[in-house]
């Protein structure tokens, strides 16, 4: 069993935080133990460019954040490396 959040908006959506970027989404997923995130707004050109630049393939159809974009995060227990679903 794992936890997923598939209803995500990017920072390009109306009335969302400018921190709704991939590094912050990854950070909070690790803090909360969420293993799978939807990328949301994947049709927005600027967001699609960020997805291309910051994500790398993980398992088939899933991506993970490039290590150089990860924010430091202290997590108790076994850490989760979130995957993104476009």
Token pair, residue 42, equals: 């994947």
Are the beta carbons of 77 and 83 closer than 8 angstroms? no
Which backbone phi and psi does 56 adopt, to 5 degrees? -125, 150
List, in order, residues 6 or more apart from 31 with CB less than 8 Å away. 73, 75
Residues 72, 86: Cα–Cα separation, whole Å: 24
- Whole-model pTM? 0.86
Q: For residue range 37-84, what is the model confidence (pLDDT) as tens digits? A: 988 777 889 999 999 999 999 999 999 999 999 999 887 777 789 999
């Amino acid at each position: 069993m794992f936890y997923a959040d598939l209803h995500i908006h990017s920072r390009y959506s109306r009335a969302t935080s400018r921190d709704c970027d991939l590094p912050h989404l990854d950070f909070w997923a690790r803090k909360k133990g969420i293993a799978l995130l939807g990328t949301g707004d994947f049709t927005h050109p600027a967001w699609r460019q960020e997805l291309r630049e910051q994500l790398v393939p993980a398992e088939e159809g899933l991506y993970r954040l490039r290590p150089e974009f990860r924010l430091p995060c202290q997590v108790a227990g076994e850490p989760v490396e979130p995957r993104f679903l476009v």
